[in-house]
Chains A and B, each alone.
Chain A
Amino acid sequence: MTNLLVWPVLLSLAAALGTLIAPSNAARIATVAAALSLWSVLLLLSAVIAEGPQWLILGGWPQGLGIALHADPLSALFLLMSAAVCLAATIFARRYVEHSRYRSQFWPLWLLLQTAIYALLLAADLFNIYVTLELLGLSAVTLSALGGSRAAVQAAVNYLILGLLGSLLFLAGIALIYGRYASLDLQLLARVVEPGPSLWVAMALMTAGLVLKSALFPLHFWLPAVHANAPAPVSAVLSALVVKVAFYLIMRLWLDLFNPAVMSTAADLFGVFGALAIVWGSWQAMFTARLKLLAAYSSIAQLGYLFLFLSLVLVMPEGEDRQLLLGALVLFALSHGFAKSALFLAAGTVQQYAGHDRIAELRGVAGQLPLTFFSLGLAGVALIGLPPSGSFLAKWQLLSTTLLAGQWYWVAVVVVGSLMACVYMFRVLSVAFGEEGVATQRIHSRREELPTLALAVTATLILGLGGVWVWRVLDVGAAGGLG
């Protein structure tokens, strides 16, 4: 059953080529590929739960030489989120790009982006990770520029250059690790790394590169323009998945590879910058004029929570508490993935319907797009962290951990951040549920709003009520890790 590992990557890649060969059927090919990828990921996840971590070394090379693929509970859960979000965004994109100028370029790039996401989550060696990071960056940059406006292209150029710098920092770190340990395989490396100057420098370089890509404050400055100006389905995937897989890599490297060399000061830095990101991102989201910018700034804040979680997990001794907090981290990441993609898709529907996404001028839109605003409200519940969302459970765990440890300052940050999230979500809702209506631009189909609703329901209800399942799945691999 180890061949399951290649399917998500292979299906998306083959479909990307298929859309080039048969452009007139591109939307259908992409939908089928996304559905099949989700199916293969579900099979993979059940295999991981039943049999433990899955391995595949392509081409029959010995370990360390060939391209190895690896899935453990952590990567399988991220894969599941990615495949589900991609499927919903693909269905949404069918209508969204149907009449656009960039229709023919969109689908191959869209599928290549998915290929890169899946390949990155499955990669088991450092160089493979570097290559998939670059594939991800290049397809994400091109997709974000497709809107064609000057603002979008300028943002994409900036995104590209910074992304390249991030990758180069990462690659320089890989060079140091290879120079010291003569291996790139994560599993082999995890057994031999030991604290020392060369590992610390490599850690610093690789982490700096990934932090730039995952937009941690103060390296977030490229994100709002890119995410706010990209086509809506692209923004959804960029915000929900692309920045998050960079975070996933940081998590993977720090938990599995650098674990023996983790110093509490380094972990505290994640926490401090994460806290700053929460406050700064939420503050910007409270005052920005546009709905998509609001969603982008909210992403910066939500990524801040992830880094805060990570800093606490890193300094915790191995044991049940650490496993609980790690589960909360993953649950938070998944909830944000679904909620934020729902928010961006809703913003896309609003923008198509009203012709703009200026929050102040959206008075009464909720009456005409009830399903979209219902989804937006549900997504808001997850972004704020209200029950019964998945992020509520995660924040609850975070609060109880920090309270027990006497770290009241983190409690304050989480409470303030959640209140600010209330403010920015209710600002949108209160305007949209106002009285007077806006001029309608075109007739809207209910079906178009369904993917958004599905994502929002997943974030708020499914992950909230079924959150225990995430902890259980993670516990399958708790003993092993990468080793």
Chain B
Amino acid sequence: MSSTPLLYGLCAVALFAIGLLGAFLHSGLLTRLLAVNVSGSGVLLLFVVLAYQGAGQRPDPVPHALVLTGLVVAVSATALALMLGRWLQRPEQEPEPETEQDQE
């Protein structure tokens, strides 16, 4: 049974790497955001694997608490990214005179 956590661990690393590659190689916001989330799942899965302390043993609660926090952060960040994405979709507003930003 000791190979099961190893398998999960390898899956976690693979997910993390896939997500990282996706986020760096693609340019669309949604694709990159999904890639970041895939990568995040990999890291969180890694924490879940670390909590495993052998068959019949009680899992370590600390990584679980960390995963919960990590999930909250991931949800908030995803929501913020989607909102910014919607800002990009809308037509450009009239810039205010005193905070005019030039396009570089």
Question: Is there contact, CB below 8 Å, between B104 and A151?
Answer: yes
Q: Does B95 contact A (CB under 8 A)?
A: yes
User: In the complex the two chains form, what is the Cα distance from A358 to B23 in whole Å?
Assistant: 34
**Min CB–CB distance A246 → chain B (angstroms):** 17
Q: Using Cβ atoms and an 8 Å threshold, which residues of chain B touch A157?
A: 29, 81, 84-85, 88
Choose among A147, A160, A171, A172 the residue that contacts B101 (Cβ–Cβ < 8 A). A147
Q: Does A468 contact B (CB under 8 A)?
A: no
Choose among A141, A357, A441 the residue that contacts B97 (Cβ–Cβ < 8 A). A441
**Min CB–CB distance A147 → chain B (angstroms):** 5
Q: Does A120 contact B (CB under 8 A)?
A: no
Q: Using Cβ atoms and an 8 Å threshold, which residues of chain B touch A305?
A: none
Q: Using Cβ atoms and an 8 Å threshold, which residues of chain B touch A442?
A: 98
Q: With contacts A138-B76, A168-B39 known, is A175 near B46, CB below 8 A?
A: yes
Whose C-beta in chain A lies nearest to the C-beta of B12?
A175
Q: How many residues of A contact B (CB 8 A)?
A: 52
User: In the complex the two chains form, what is the Cα distance from A325 to B101 in whole Å?
Assistant: 40
Question: Is there contact, CB below 8 Å, between B84 and A156?
Answer: yes
What 1/0 flags go to A344-360 for Cβ under 8 Å of B?
00000001100111100
Choose among B39, B62, B96, B100 the residue that contacts A165 (Cβ–Cβ < 8 A). B39
Q: Does A178 contact B (CB under 8 A)?
A: yes
Q: With contacts A100-B96, A148-B93, A157-B29 known, is A290 near B77, CB below 8 A?
A: no
Q: Using Cβ atoms and an 8 Å threshold, which residues of chain B touch A167?
A: 73
Question: Is there contact, CB below 8 Å, between B80 and A127?
Answer: no
Q: Does B10 contact A (CB under 8 A)?
A: no
Question: Is there contact, CB below 8 Å, between A164 and B77?
Answer: yes
Stretch at the interface among A29-37, A223-231, A420-428: A223-231
What 1/0 flags go to A285-322 for Cβ under 8 Å of B?
00000100100000000000000000000000000000
Choose among A153, A172, A290 the residue that contacts B102 (Cβ–Cβ < 8 A). A290
Within residues 40 to 82 of chain B, which ones have a CB less than 8 A from any CB in chain A? 40, 42-43, 46-47, 50, 60, 62-63, 66, 69-70, 73, 76-77, 80-81
Question: Is there contact, CB below 8 Å, between A171 and B70?
Answer: yes
**Min CB–CB distance A223 → chain B (angstroms):** 13
Q: Using Cβ atoms and an 8 Å threshold, which residues of chain B touch A184?
A: 62
Question: Is there contact, CB below 8 Å, between A149 and B101?
Answer: yes
**Min CB–CB distance B5 → chain A (angstroms):** 11
Number of A-B pairs whose CB atoms are under 8 Å? 120
Q: Does A152 contact B (CB under 8 A)?
A: yes
Q: Does B2 contact A (CB under 8 A)?
A: no
Question: Is there contact, CB below 8 Å, between A355 and B97?
Answer: yes
Q: How many residues of B contact A (CB 8 A)?
A: 43
Q: Does B99 contact A (CB under 8 A)?
A: yes
Whose C-beta in chain A lies nearest to the C-beta of B27?
A158
Within residues 341 to 381 of chain A, which ones have a CB less than 8 A from any CB in chain B? 351-352, 355-358
Q: With contacts A147-B99, A147-B101, A175-B50 known, is A138 near B39, CB below 8 A?
A: no
Question: Is there contact, CB below 8 Å, between B87 and A138?
Answer: no
Q: Using Cβ atoms and an 8 Å threshold, which residues of chain B touch A141?
A: 80, 84
Question: Is there contact, CB below 8 Å, between A154 and B97?
Answer: no
Question: Is there contact, CB below 8 Å, between B103 and A150?
Answer: yes
Within residues 173 to 201 of chain A, which ones have a CB less than 8 A from any CB in chain B? 174-175, 178-179, 182, 184
Q: With contacts A153-B84, A157-B29 known, is A178 near B63, CB below 8 A?
A: yes
Q: With contacts A290-B104, A355-B100 known, is A161 near B92, CB below 8 A?
A: no
**Min CB–CB distance A414 → chain B (angstroms):** 29
Q: With contacts A149-B101, A150-B103 known, is A142 near B80, CB below 8 A?
A: yes
Question: Is there contact, CB below 8 Å, between A100 and B99?
Answer: yes
Q: Using Cβ atoms and an 8 Å threshold, which residues of chain A touch B23?
A: 161, 165
Question: Is there contact, CB below 8 Å, between A160 and B80?
Answer: yes
User: In the complex the two chains form, what is the Cα distance from A441 to B95 in whole Å?
Assistant: 16
Q: With contacts A151-B101, A153-B87, A157-B29 known, is A165 near B50, CB below 8 A?
A: no
Within residues 54 to 81 of chain A, which ones have a CB less than 8 A from any CB in chain B? 65
19 contacts between A and B (CB under 8 A): A127-B69, A138-B76, A141-B84, A147-B101, A148-B87, A151-B101, A153-B87, A160-B80, A164-B36, A165-B36, A172-B46, A178-B63, A179-B46, A179-B50, A182-B60, A224-B104, A225-B104, A290-B102, A290-B104
Give me 8 other A-B pairs in contact (C-beta within 8 A), A175-B43, A178-B50 excluded: A100-B98, A134-B77, A149-B92, A149-B103, A172-B42, A172-B46, A182-B60, A290-B104
Interface set of B (CB-CB < 8 Å, partner A)? 16, 19-20, 23-24, 29, 32-33, 36, 39-40, 42-43, 46-47, 50, 60, 62-63, 66, 69-70, 73, 76-77, 80-81, 84-85, 87-88, 92-93, 95-104
| 3 closest residue pairs by CB, A with B | A149-B101, A175-B46, A179-B50
